[in-house]
Structure formats: C-alpha cells, structure tokens
C-alpha cells in the first residue's frame, strides 16, 4: 500500500477509537442530546466545505442517498449497542465483522482482488478483532447490535469508497454525505424533544458532542481519501486496527477489564495490519 494511505488509515483508526470512547464514557448519557450535538458539528463542517469546494456531480447523488440511509441506521444501532454492553465488546465485535464483508463487496463491485499475503492480513485483522470482541459473558442483545453495526460498517464503507471515486474528491463527497445525514439527525432530535427543550438540554454541555461530530468527520475523511487511490478492502481492514486503540482506551481510561484473550486478539490484529501495510 502507498505510505500515505497507510498513515491515513492508521490515523483514522486512532481518531475513531478516541471518539467512540468519548461517546461511551462521557458524562452525558442522553443519546438524543448526543445525536443532536454531533449532527450540529457535522452541519458546521458541511457548511464550511460547501462554501470552499461547491456541490458534488450528479453521478454521486445515488451513492449519497444510499449512504445517508445506511449511516442513519448505523447511528441508531451504535447507541443501542453502547446502551446494551461494554465498549470493548460492542466496538471490537462490530469492527471485526466489517473487513471481510468489504473485501467481498470490493471484489464484486470494484473488481479488486487482494494478493494472497494481503488477503491473509485482512483475515488476521478480522480474526483478531473477533478474538478481542467476543465475550461469552456479554449480553446477547449487545452482541446482536454489534453484528448489526458491523453490517452497516461494511455497507457504507464500500458505498462511500465508490462514491468518493466517482465524485473525484473525498472531501466534497464526505461533506455532503455528512451534511445531509446531520440534517435528518437534527430534525429527529428536535421532534423527539421539542425545539425549546432540546436547545436547553444541549446548551448545558455542548462542546463535547459538537467536537465528536467534527473529529469523526476528520477521521472518516482520512480513510475515505486513502480509498480513492488505495485498495478499498485493505484500507478498511487497516483502519480497523482501531480495535487495538479501543482496547487500550477501554482498559486505561474506562476501567474495563481485558483478559489475556483480548490482548492476544490485539496482537493478531497488529500482525494482520503489518502484512497489509508492509508485506
């Protein structure tokens, strides 16, 4: 893989693990308020980038419409999963099911077939993540939502990679996808709480949610940019090394217990990432 793509994917992994930990571990447990504030951050990014780069071409709009639908369901499933179980279980299991799905989709729709060594790296990343994330003591409901999240991740990763390539700019594509999605999220939050109540609740501690929206945009933008010139499946799998960062964050800051099996899984992920990036 090109060094720039490797650096972008790994940076995206760290960013993604960080904002998921902030979402799970923050003091505000009101997911509707979180949704509203994250969407406000997304709209702010969209407005700035729209003014700078303009609108995407007509050919990208079917991809934008489809990814907005998938992302909205992803956010719904994400909150359900974090309400049901630990970050170390939900986050890692959901990420582990994505790389193989993306590799299959890239083969079918983008005609990308990874070399055997790279395919082995993708497989190791998935196996390692599942080793980290699968917990026999986890609630069944948390496992269910984690797998649903994984299906969403695999779907939007492929849709967005193809959409960004057609658009010719990852920044323009992502700005519009985020903006359109954020508008729907804001409308939903206002409908659930009412405008006056929603604004009052969000104004108590607004900056964490807004910052998560901006940071998540930047993190996903990095991997989407990498996918415009690097293989989709390999870039996605490399980004899923976020599980290693997520496990460390959960252990160090959220006081979640991580046994030997999860540490072994993190090592397997690292080995798979090394094959993808450097073999």
pLDDT one-digit tens code per residue, 85-129: 876 678 777 877 788 888 888 888 888 888 889 889 888 888 887
Report residue 224 as tokens. Answer: 């989407």
Q: What is the pTM of this model?
A: 0.81
Closest CA to 182 of 75, 82, 26: 75
Helices (H) and strands (E) in the chain, counts: 13, 0
Report residue 248 as tokens. Answer: 């460390």
CA atoms within 13 A on the CB side of 219: 21
- Given the structure tokens 């419409």, which residue do they identify? 65
Give the model's confidence band at 171: pLDDT under 50 very low, under 70 low, under 90 confident, else very high.
very high
Per domain, the residue ranges of the chain are 3-278
Kindly give, in sequence order, each residue whose CB lies less than 8 Å from that of residue 184, ignoring residues fewer than 6 positions away: 68, 72
Structural contact between residues 181 and 92, judged by C-beta atoms closer than 8 angstroms: no
Mean pLDDT of 135-159: 86
pLDDT in tens, 173-225: 999 999 998 998 898 889 888 889 988 888 887 887 788 888 888 888 899 99
């Amino acid at each position: 893989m090109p060094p720039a793509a490797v650096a972008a994917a790994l940076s995206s992994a760290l960013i993604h693990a960080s904002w998921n930990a902030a979402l799970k571990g923050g003091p505000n447990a009101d997911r509707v308020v979180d949704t509203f504030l994250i969407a406000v951050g997304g709209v702010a990014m969209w407005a700035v980038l729209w003014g700078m780069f303009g609108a995407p071409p007509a050919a990208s709009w079917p991809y934008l419409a489809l990814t907005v639908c998938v992302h909205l369901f992803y956010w719904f499933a994400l909150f359900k999963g974090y309400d049901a179980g630990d970050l170390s279980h939900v986050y890692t299991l959901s990420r582990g099911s994505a790389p193989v799905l993306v590799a299959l989709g890239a083969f079918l729709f983008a005609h990308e077939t990874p070399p055997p060594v790279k395919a082995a790296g993708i497989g190791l990343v998935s196996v390692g993540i599942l080793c980290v994330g699968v917990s026999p003591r986890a609630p069944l409901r948390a496992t269910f939502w984690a797998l649903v999240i994984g299906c969403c991740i695999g779907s939007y990763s492929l849709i967005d990679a193809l959409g960004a390539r057609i658009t010719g700019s990852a920044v323009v594509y992502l700005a519009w996808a985020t903006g359109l999605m954020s508008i729907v999220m804001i409308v939903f939050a206002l409908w659930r709480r009412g405008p006056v109540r929603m604004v009052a609740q969000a104004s108590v501690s607004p900056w964490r949610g807004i910052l998560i929206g901006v940071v998540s945009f930047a993190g996903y933008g990095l991997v989407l940019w990498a996918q415009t010139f690097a293989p989709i499946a390999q870039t996605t799998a490399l980004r899923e090394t976020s599980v290693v960062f997520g496990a460390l964050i959960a252990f160090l800051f959220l006081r979640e217990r991580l046994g030997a099996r999860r540490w072994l899984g993190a090592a397997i992920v690292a080995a798979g990432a090394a094959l993808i990036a450097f073999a």
